[in-house]
Homo-oligomer: A and B are copies of this chain.
Amino acid sequence: MEDQKSKDNIKPTKERIFNVSLELFSQKGFNAVSVREIAREVGIRESSIYNHYKNKEAILDAIIDYFKAELTQSGLPEEETTKLMDQGPEVYFQVGSRVYIEQINTPQMEKIWRLVSIETYHNQKIREFFKKELLEEPITGWENVFRMMMEKKMIKPFNPRTLAYEYFSFALFLFFEYYVLKYDEDFDSFMDMALERMGKHTDFLLEAIKI
């Protein structure tokens, strides 16, 4: 099997610019990476970058677009969700969140998660994306899950939106703690850590609300 370098070298230049930029942006942040540095790492002159992307911002836009597309196609089919829930809330949280997390945590996506985390404030496009796709959309999704569980008499009656926040804010906290505060430390991956701690969190929440 070829190593990463030789595999990258036969890829089109535009794709190599994309990969190198993502790697550097996710490590240092957008502003801290220069076009010169990207070009050096790709192995071309900086002027050649502009044959593939209009400017530096356009590279970031391409990364965000890629991220959006990956997220959009990662949802579970409706019928799978219903089938899973019929096995009870415990199974739903254990299996459901594992499947979901695995889908959105490829090595490529890990870098983009990191980039989104560290640039959420500095870049308006990323901020809007975060608010919509990583906050509002999941909260509404979990609100619906809790409402369904209530209708199926699996859990006690609560305000489903309150439950959604109780559940999901902890996930966002883990996300922030891992990607922003502790990225330099020696975790294996976000997934291993998150799954274990989300398990404890879910146990606590379920104990409080299940019938």
Q: Name A's B-contacting residues (CB within 8 A).
A: 29, 31-32, 117-118, 120-122, 127, 130-131, 135, 158, 162, 165-166, 169-170, 172-174, 176-177, 180-182, 197, 200-201, 204, 207-209
Contacts and interface: CB of A to CB of B under 8 A. Distances in A.
- Please report whether the interface of chain A is mostly helix, strand, loop or mixed according to DSSP: helix
A166 B176 contact: no
B162 A200 contact: yes
A177 B135 contact: yes
Contacts of A165: 170, 197, 201
Contact of A122 (B29, B131, B135, B177): B29
Given A118-B122, A208-B207, A172 B181 contact: no
> 10 tightest A-B contacts by CB?
A208-B208, A169-B173, A118-B121, A169-B170, A121-B180, A131-B181, A172-B173, A173-B173, A120-B180, A29-B122
Contact of A135 (B117, B121, B158, B181): B181
A35 to B, nearest CB: 17
A120 B117 CA distance: 11
Contacts of A197: 165
Contacts of A135: 177, 181
A121 B29 contact: yes
A65 to B, nearest CB: 21
Contacts of A158: 204
Contacts of A31: 31
Contacts of A117: 121
A32 B123 CA distance: 12
Contacts of A29: 121-122
A176 B181 contact: no
Given A208-B204, A208-B207, A181 B130 contact: yes
Contact of A127 (B131, B162, B181, B209): B181
Contacts of A173: 169-170, 172-173
